[in-house]
Amino acid sequence: MMGNRSGRAVGWRSAVVVIGVVMSASVLSVAPAGAVHGAVPGDFNGDGYRDVVLPAPGANVSGKEGAGAVVVLYGSKGGVSSASKRQTLTQNSSGVPGTAETGDGFGWATATADLNHDGYADLLVGSPYEDTSGGTDAGSVTVLWGSKSGLTTATLLSKPAGLDGSVEKDRYGSDIAALSNGAGVKTRVAIASVQGTVLVSGPFSHTGTHGVVAYENRTASVISVDLGDFNRDGVPDPVIDTDRLSDLSGGEIYLNTGTTYLLTHANGLDSATGDVNGDGYTDLVVGDPDDPYTPGVDGAVGGRILVWYGSKSGIASGAEPVELTQNTAGVPGSSASNDGFGGSLTVGDLNGDGAADIVVGTPLETSNSRAGVVTVIPGRRTGALGTGSYSFTQNTAGVPGTSEIDDMFGTTVAIGDVNGDGRPELLVSAASENDFTGAVWVFPGTTSGPTASGSRMFTASSVGLTQLSGTVLGGYGLLMLI
């Protein structure tokens, strides 16, 4: 499938979701899926503290290599720790549909939202290499429902059947986004697959029912998805980032605010949404970590991010974005070929000033031999973005661990308040730490933003995952693609 380079609108069509049952094991295919986002912490047990989600898609389960697992660290006044309440979820866990099988990749993608509006956050987990009745590597998505006791029940949110012929190797669930702005259609889930994007609207219930399903299968193979309310109607609008096409760095970027349209001055592989300039409108940030395919035409050496400011009319197809790189004034470091700046991305208000900050992962940073770096670019109501930016590495004073070759710190990034003090924590993963067992850091929030002082490092072994390699705690992010 090729992307729509003309910029003409592409329609969505409705379908009925068929809740399927896992039928057979899957084997990791040659062409990998991208799972871009780290799940935002969510309050799964309603105690007022958000809980940290640590995906481990490479975890071995009951002798099944790469079946995958998700570890949840429940938040508290003291934050999270490996010694506090912890829950490990697999497809062999009680109440979780299916069976852990070799290469399923349970936890490849994760997302959180209170889907059924019962006051408890719910967790969505993608298994893009799951074999189903639809075929090998057809993929599946599991919804684990929050409750006073935490995550105890689950249902499948399977791909609509028969929408585009064969679903063989479709890798449904390779990325997931969820956003709840209110009841009914104001709650939505977006799911990436090779053939397109599935958009499921509320109302949702813990028994697995939901509202209308829309299916977009006329864009290119989808790498990542996100959601944001760009036209301020309360209904989350999808952002679709496709695979690389048309001899450009990154892929095509589509928005849908009723119809799907291409952003003509854009390319990238991941996206995030939030109000970066504090004007009340949702802005779009896109990560384009590739070096230019054609210098001067696309991309930027070392990677870039692109920012579109929202308005009362949303974001126009031909709107020009603001470009930032490591050479932008105020941004630490300098751009060098193959850095991968923009290889992970999240947006959130870290310092409470009403303007959302942009967190950018550069997991392939060449100046430290791909040990990786994470940069925070503060949101600004006035003036140019970049001023006041700051970075973290494993060599930053107070950060546990040491920067080592190919750690890839910054594989994924996320923001969420896990100790209930109103100051969000920053979460950073490094997929290839310790022979790809992986690690995740939690940076405490302060009134001025996250700090390295008091930061905590969680390794696979510290949360009970004991295999010696390949666990990938924190997830792969875009590492298989960049």
Location of structure tokens 């429940």: 74
Residue 249 and residue 292 in contact, taking contact as beta carbons nearer than 8 Å: yes
In a domain, 310, yes or no: yes
Mean pLDDT of all residues in 124-129:
95
pLDDT at 36: 66
pLDDT at 133: 78
In a domain, 224, yes or no: yes
pLDDT band at 122 (very low <50, low <70, confident <90, very high): very high
pLDDT at 161: 60
CA distances (Å), origin 27, targets 65, 140, 337, 479: 10, 14, 34, 19
- Percent of the chain exceeding pLDDT 70 equals 90
Residue 313 predicted with pLDDT over 70:
yes
**Of the ranges 49-53, 100-104, 256-260, 317-321, which one carries the lowest mean pLDDT score?**
256-260
Residue 15 predicted with pLDDT over 80:
no
- Does 332 sit behind a cis peptide bond, omega within 30 degrees of 0 on the bond before it? no
Query: Which residues face 72 on adjacent strands?
Result: 53, 87
Mean pLDDT of all residues in 201-215:
93
Location of structure tokens 């899926």: 33
Number of other residues whose CB lies within 10 A of the CB of residue 280: 10
Cα separation, 192 vs 195, in Å, equals 8
Cα separation, 10 vs 58, in Å, equals 36
In a domain, 29, yes or no: no
pLDDT at 202: 95
Q: What is the DSSP letter of 367?
A: G
**Of the ranges 21-25, 55-59, 172-176, 388-392, which one carries the lowest mean pLDDT score?**
21-25
Hey, what are 119's tokens? 């006051």
Segment 280-312, tens digit of pLDDT: 999 999 999 999 988 878 899 999 999 999 998
pLDDT at 24: 27
Cα separation, 407 vs 405, in Å, equals 6
pLDDT band at 185 (very low <50, low <70, confident <90, very high): very high
pLDDT band at 109 (very low <50, low <70, confident <90, very high): very high
pLDDT at 296: 78
433 CB-near residues (< 8 Å, 6+ apart): 401, 404, 407, 408, 409, 439, 459
Number of other residues whose CB lies within 10 A of the CB of residue 359: 27
pLDDT band at 35 (very low <50, low <70, confident <90, very high): low
**Of the ranges 50-64, 107-121, 247-261, which one carries the lowest mean pLDDT score?**
247-261
Mean pLDDT of all residues in 261-273:
93
**Of the ranges 74-83, 160-169, 201-210, which one carries the lowest mean pLDDT score?**
160-169
Mean pLDDT of all residues in 421-448:
96
In a domain, 110, yes or no: no
Task: Indicate which CATH number applies to the domain containing 458.
Answer: 2.130.10.130
**Of the ranges 296-305, 323-332, 372-381, which one carries the lowest mean pLDDT score?**
296-305
pLDDT at 83: 80
Continuous H helices in 350-432 = none
In one-letter notation, the amino acid at residue 358 is: I
31 CB-near residues (< 8 Å, 6+ apart): none
Element containing residue 435 per DSSP (H, E): helix 433-436
In a domain, 248, yes or no: yes
Q: What is the DSSP letter of 440?
A: E
Exposed, middle or buried: residue 232 (CB in 10 Å: 0-12, 13-18, 19+)? middle
pLDDT at 335: 97
Query: Which residues face 213 on adjacent strands?
Result: 15, 200
Residue with the larger pLDDT of the pair 37 and 314: 314
Residue 450 and residue 334 in contact, taking contact as beta carbons nearer than 8 Å: no
Give the number of domains in the chain: 1
In a domain, 383, yes or no: yes
- Percent of the chain exceeding pLDDT 90 equals 77
In a domain, 196, yes or no: no
pLDDT at 29: 34
Residue 164 predicted with pLDDT over 80:
no
pLDDT at 246: 66
**What domain range includes position 308?**
218-463
Left if phi > 0, otherwise alpha if psi is -120 to 50, otherwise beta: which for 52?
A: beta
Nearest in space to 290 (alpha carbons), one of 271, 273, 269: 269
Q: What is the DSSP string of 261-300?
A: EE-TT--BSEEEEE-TTSSSS-EEEEEE-SPPSSTTTS--
Residue 154 and residue 143 in contact, taking contact as beta carbons nearer than 8 Å: yes
Segment 335-345, tens digit of pLDDT: 999 999 999 99
Residue 439 predicted with pLDDT over 50:
yes
Residue 331 and residue 386 in contact, taking contact as beta carbons nearer than 8 Å: yes
Residue with the larger pLDDT of the pair 341 and 38: 341
Residue 99 predicted with pLDDT over 70:
yes
181 CB-near residues (< 8 Å, 6+ apart): 187, 229, 234, 235, 236
pLDDT band at 23 (very low <50, low <70, confident <90, very high): very low
Residue 361 and residue 372 in contact, taking contact as beta carbons nearer than 8 Å: yes
pLDDT, the chain, mean:
89
pLDDT band at 34 (very low <50, low <70, confident <90, very high): low
Cα separation, 53 vs 71, in Å, equals 6
Q: How far is CA 392 from the centre of its chain?
A: 20
Cα separation, 324 vs 303, in Å, equals 9
In a domain, 482, yes or no: no
Mean pLDDT of all residues in 170-185:
93
**Of the ranges 28-42, 50-64, 293-307, 416-430, which one carries the lowest mean pLDDT score?**
28-42
